[in-house]
Each structure stands twice: as C-alpha cells, then as structure tokens.
Structure 1
Amino acid sequence: MNKATAGSTIATLLVLTATQPLHAAEGPSFDCSKAQADSIEQMICDDSSLAALDLQLVEIYSAAQKEAVNEQPPMLKAEQRGWLSGRNECWKEEDKNACVSNAYRLRIAELQARYRLADMTGVLTYACDNNPANELVVTHFATTPPTLIADYGDSTSLMYQQTSNEGSQYRGRNESIAFNQDEAVVVWGYEATPMHCKSVN
C-alpha cells in the first residue's frame, strides 16, 4: 500500500469513526454521580440489568404521559412519585436486587396495560352468579408479566398473572380472578364473597 492509499484509508476511517454512534455502556436515566452510597439508586447504577429496566421504564412512562395528557384528575405524575418512593423502600428487603427488578417490571406492565401501550390479546365478557346483568369485562394484555384490566360495575382493577399450578390466576390490589376454561371465580373487594362467572362471548 502506497502512502497516498494509506493516507486515504486513514482519512476514511476517521470520517466513519466520527459519524458512527459510540456504543458506550448506558447507565440509568438519572445522574449516578448524585446517587448516595449504598442507596437503591447506587445499586441501579452498578447493575446493568437494573439500569436497562430504568431506561425502559422512562421510555414507557414518556409514552404514557402522551396518552394521559387529558386525564382528569391528572394522576400519573403523583403515582410515579409514589412508585419511586416504594422502589427505594427495597433497601429493607433481604434480596434488594429482586425487589427492585420486580418493582420495575410490574410498573412497566401496569403502564403498558393502563395506557394501551401493549397489544390486547383478548376481551372476554362474563355473566356472574347466573345473572346476565351482573357483568364482568376482562381485557388481557401482552405484557411481562401478563396483565388484565377487569371492569365490574363502576370500578376497574388491574391484575397481574400469578404463578399457579391450579390454572390461570390474576391478582390486583383487593381483587382476584381464577380462570378455568370458560368459567371464572372472582373476588371483587377485600374479603368479598367469591362470584362464579361464565363467559358469554
């Protein structure tokens, strides 16, 4: 290779290097230099998988903000602040990493379902306790973990799929649904009497 060719090759490499993005390891969405030692934020800064979950949540949260722009009352920001406080409470847990990871995954799935940022995988209607007017509508979403939003009367509950050997089960704050083929046992409210519901789809 002559000097002219070598010079041209080096110049080309310099141009390509200047124009291609640098693939440096990405940290979380917040400034790690401000994280306190031994804090949950510092743990996230030191763990690439947790940092990736943080970036994913920021992306999903930004998309949710666009969907919630006309939401009344505006709850999203307040809920996110509450979630951050809850995430930081993971310092009390024996397995802090698992606690933080689970907090991120559940929050991401919640936002994807509530603001329809994930694909719907089915909408089913159930008549409960042999009364067609006693209607339960269940919308399933392709999130991780799987979620559903159940509408019953004037109230709504978001539920996450639970690990179970007894069929498909979902649990929310005070509600739960256990599915068995075209039937479901529904508990709607704290210590409420279970309802037996049958699909009408």
Structure 2
Amino acid sequence: MRYAATGLTLLLWPLAAWAQPSFDCAKAESSAEEAVCASPALSEMDVEVSRLFALALNGPNITPDGQDELRAYQRGWVKGRDECWKADDLGTCVRDEYAIRIDELRREYADARAEDGPSMGPYAYVCDGMDAPLSATFVNAGDPVVVLRWLENVRVLPIAMSGSGSRYASDDMVFWIKGSDATWTQDGTDHACQEDDIG
C-alpha cells in the first residue's frame, strides 16, 4: 500500500525514530525549527528528510562532487524553509516545504529510494485530457500528504475523509486513489488517471 499508510504499514516503521527532530530543539534558530519542535507531525517529516538526505549522501551512486552539490542544495533548502515565518500559516508552509523536499530527494537520488520508510514514490500517472504525466510522491511521516507535480507545477495536498481509497484534497484540487486508478480534479474538471507501469 503506497498511499495513506495506516495501521500495519505505520506499525512496521520504527516509531521511536519520530520522537525528536534531527536537530537539537534547545538550539532551534528559527520559527520554522520551533514549529517543528512543537509538532510531532513536523518532527516526523524532519526525521524523514534527514533519513533520505543521509541515504542520498552516503549511497554508492553519488560522486564527491555530487555530495558537495547535495550538501549545498540542502543548506539552501533549510534557508527556504526558514523563510516560512513570512507565510500566513507557518505550520502549513513548513509542512509543504518538508513534503516537497522529500519528493525532491526521492525523485533526484536513486539511493534515497533504497530503503523502505514513511515516504513512497514518485509514481507516474497518465491522466485523460493531460498532455504531460502527473507525478505523485506519498508522504506518510506526520499527517499524510501527497506531492503532485505536472509540467512546472507542484502542489501538496493533505489527506481528507474518504469512504474508499485514499483521497487528498485542498479547496481547489482533489487526488483520489483507488488501487492503480486515480481521479485528479483540477479547476473543476475530473481527469481519470492510471498508474504508469514505467513510473
């Protein structure tokens, strides 16, 4: 089950790893870090970013130059996350920054996908009426979300109530999965989607 990990999937993952974020909360330097320290859900996402970063950094497929580049991008990402103090909703901004970083690490570094954990994907979907594929990364650390990418767009949708399957929704977009099929509703238009075998 790659989406909305609940029950057995979460029980199999070591919950003790989610107790604290990857940094020392006594030395939190930004309102974003303070938000992470105050939220078990954000702490879990922080631990997952740290885990994926370590897998990518120490994996067999990265060069020394690649390691330097990854470290630089990670520092840049931390600076961007810390800019969330400017957002209307600090918690949502921080959550989205973590979700997008998880997606980036999984998309760009094969070694970050080398071990199972509380994030999965990205998976490719082919959707009716769309010229470009849709990419979905499922983040089950913290409160489950899906990161959707198409063309130059990226959106983070939180999990929502559903009678069947897994439904992720915001005010203007829904991604509803049932098995390998999905419905993606964007701008009031439903697109029937099928997971791509090569995704």
Is the aligned partner of 1:61 residue 2:53?
Answer: yes
Alpha-carbon distance in structure 2 between the residues aligned to 1:76 and 1:165 = 36
Work out whether residues 147 and 154 of structure 2, in 8 Å CA contact, stay in contact via their aligned partners in 1. yes
- Counterpart-to-counterpart distance in 2, 1:53 and 1:114: 18
Q: Deviations over 1:85-111 (max 9, x none)?
A: 011111111211111010000110111
Residues 167 and 99 of structure 1, relative CA distance in 2, 3 Å threshold: same
RMSD: 3.7
| Residue deviations 1:47-85 (CA, integer Å, cap 9, x gap) | 111111101111111122226622745421101000000
Match of 1:42 among 34, 46, 52: 34
Contact 1:109 1:146 in 2 (8 A): no
| Alpha-carbon contact 1:113-1:141 (below 8 Å) kept | no
User: SS where residue 147 of structure 2 aligns?
Assistant: coil
Q: Do the aligned partners of 2:134 and 2:148 also contact (CA within 8 Å) in 1?
A: no
Structure 1: stretches of 5+ with no match in the other structure? 1-20, 125-135, 151-156, 169-178, 182-201
- Alignment of 1:114 with 2:96, yes or no, is no
1:105 aligns with 99
* Structure 1 residues 119 and 140: alpha-carbon distance in aligned structure 2, compared to 1, 3 A threshold: same
Letter in structure 2 aligned against 1:96: L
- 1:51 aligned residue: 43
The residue aligned with 1:192 is none
Percent pairwise identity: 28
Q: Which has the higher contact order (CA 8 A, sep 6+)?
A: 2
Q: Is the 8 A contact 2:122 2:135 kept in 1?
A: yes
Q: TM-score, normalised by structure 2?
A: 0.52
2:88 aligned to 94, 112, 118, which one? 94
Check whether the contact 2:18–2:44 (CA below 8 A) recurs between aligned residues: no
Shift of 1:121: 3.7
Q: Among residues 44, 59, 63, which one is paired with 1:70 in the alignment?
A: 63
Cα distance in 1 between the residues matched to 2:31 and 2:50: 20
Q: How many aligned positions are there?
A: 131
Q: Which runs of no fewer than 5 residues in structure 2 stay unpaired?
A: 1-13, 114-119, 139-145, 157-172, 174-185, 194-199
Deviation of 1:146 (Å)? 3.2
Offset of residue 40 of structure 1: 2.0
